[in-house]
Amino acid sequence: MAIRLLFAALCLSLLLSAHADQPLQAWIDTALPGTVLRLPPGTYSGPASITKPLTLEGNGKVVVDGGGKGTVLTIKADKVTIRGLTLRGSGDSHDAIDGAIMVAEGNGLLIENNVIEDVLFGISLHRTTDSVIRHNRIRSRGASSADRGDGLRLWYSTGNRIENNDIAQIRDITVSNSPHNRYTGNTIRDSRRAFNFLFSHRSLVERNILEKNSTGIIALNSNGLIIRGNRILHAMDASGAGIALKETSAALVVDNEIVHCAHGIMADSPMDAINRIVFINNVIAHNITGVYFYGAKGGHIAINNTFRSNLWPVTIIGDGDPMNDTWWGNTWDTYEGFDLDGDGFGDRPHELHAYADRIWLETPKATFFRNSPVLELLDFLERLAPFSAPTLILRDTAPRMQPAKAYN
């Protein structure tokens, strides 16, 4: 009873105080474990640390300012909820991962409806499980993406849900050694890499809008990914891509729209023939290169995709046999056949050959001259009167006459 009276007295004194920047730590320290701490409107000073189960609510009227020192709010407990706060004013150290929220350890957390601005890093989860990060607005400081921090950072964290966040002007979302997480309904724009997966297997990336980033989704050694129903737009960095998979196997890429990117999809060969990468029902449109496969083994499966208005629909580089890839039921705007029997599929396979393109395919340094007038003239002459047999890049045995997936 005495503790409760002391807490009530402290709350009353703070309410009556005219000081604008009250230390948030004092409120946290006097709250009992499991308390719902509804902060009165105002500005509170940080940094602060939570080491017990607690709900911290601001109702959109509370600002916590770190004063340019370290991380604004650090969590070292389970069952913590952070809701309705504006968090700003972190330090500037990349090495210390200064940011808005650092979960040093904790499970079963809920971080929702917060505004995060004027910080280096946004939310960092370290060894965190079964937590939800949703409906937050996250911005990093820094003019260039290389100078910013990650909007979200997961490290050895699993079973988390990242949902419906508005994220822009960050460096990356970095997911390292963190399998079995779900990333759904987020909007990420004006950043470097929207999603950067490193050794993070069997994660779901679904219904996100990724716009004007250098690269949409990049995965390194992250097997069993499901990339489904995303819109990836305007990834036009010179080395960028809508989706880039390296040393990643058994990935399913389905129902995505990948539009106006330097490379729509990039992938090397699966690490094992039985772990093929499968692309189904994607719209790949208005890219410089629609699909770029490289590596000696091949082994990709592409079914029911729509290729429209790409400068090069498909590029395949490697010493292996491109016929190791499987193409079936895709729609090609360059298909020149007919559907005389009316079954919705072309009467003959769609084949894509490399003519003068072999120059830069076989000599990477010549890529600089790709699409130059000289190579365009050589390609025209090769098609008109081939000097040698062209290289077969792919054969779609049943090209569709109409797209399997509608796209406007």
Per the rule left: phi > 0, alpha: psi between -120 and 50, beta: everything else, 335 is: beta
| DSSP codes of every residue in 82-131 | EEEEEEE-----TTTT-EEEEEEEEES-EEES-EEEEESEEEEEESEES-
Predicted confidence at residue 373, as pLDDT, reads 59
pLDDT in tens, 167-219: 999 999 999 999 999 999 999 999 999 999 999 999 999 999 999 999 999 99
User: How far is it, in rounded angstroms, from Cα 324 to Cα 356?
Assistant: 23
User: How far is it, in rounded angstroms, from Cα 396 to Cα 37?
Assistant: 62
Rounded mean pLDDT, 26-46: 94
* Amino acid letter for position 97: I
One CATH from 3.40.50, 2.160.20, 2.60.40, 1.10.150 for 65-396: 2.160.20
pLDDT in tens, 331-380: 999 888 898 888 989 999 998 876 445 444 555 544 544 555 544 554 44
Helix (H, G, I), strand (E, B), or coil: what is residue 287? coil
Predicted confidence at residue 369, as pLDDT, reads 47
Rounded mean pLDDT, 64-93: 96
Q: pTM above 0.75?
A: yes
Nearest to 33 by CA among 11, 51, 10, 7: 51
Rounded mean pLDDT, 33-53: 95
- Categorize the per-residue pLDDT at 274 as very low, low, confident or very high, splitting at 50, 70 and 90: low
User: How far is it, in rounded angstroms, from Cα 297 to Cα 247?
Assistant: 12
The structural domains of the chain, with segments of one domain joined by +, span: 65-396
The mean of the pLDDT values for the chain is 86
Nearest to 151 by CA among 121, 178, 186: 121
Q: Is the pLDDT of residue 299 over 80?
A: no
User: How far is it, in rounded angstroms, from Cα 206 to Cα 210?
Assistant: 11
* Amino acid letter for position 343: D
User: How far is it, in rounded angstroms, from Cα 30 to Cα 37?
Assistant: 10
> What residues contact 178, with CB distance under 8 A and at least 6 apart?
125, 154, 155, 156, 157, 158, 160, 200, 203
